[in-house]
Amino acid sequence: MKAVFITYNQALTEKIDKILNNLNIRGFTQWEDVKGRGTKKGEPHMGTHTWPAMNSAIITIIEDEKVDSVLSKIKKLDKSTEVQGLRTFVWNVEKYI
């Protein structure tokens, strides 16, 4: 099993939801109003007058064989919306209940 953590501009919420639904990934935890700034070119997303955009984040635990499909679709979305801000990280899940 793998933990897939996705952080993204809230403007991409529907597209992220669609990717997960199309891949039949049902379980997740989502955080809204997440603040942050990208490591490369991204502008801060701070929810302030100066930097009004905000992020959301999702973590989902999925089977290893689904990871490449998720990453492929997320990468395609990121390339088409580079200025929005989108990152995905994958960790091993050793145990769960």
Read off the pLDDT of residues 45-93 as tens digits, 9 standing for 90 and up: 999 999 999 999 999 999 999 999 999 999 999 999 888 889 999 999 9
On whether residue 86 sits in a domain, the answer given is yes
The pLDDT assigned to 49 comes to 94
Residue 39 has pLDDT above 80, yes or no: no
Let me know if residue 97 belongs to a domain. no
Q: What is the CATH number of the domain that holds 76?
A: 3.30.70.120
Total structural domains in the chain? 1
Domain extent for 28: 2-92
- In a domain, residue 67? The reply is yes
> If we measure between CA atoms, which residue out of 2, 95, 6 comes closest to residue 56?
6
Given this model, what pLDDT does residue 40 score?
75
Is a pLDDT exceeding 90 seen at residue 9?
yes
Cite the DSSP H helix spans in 1-97. Answer: 13-22, 67-80
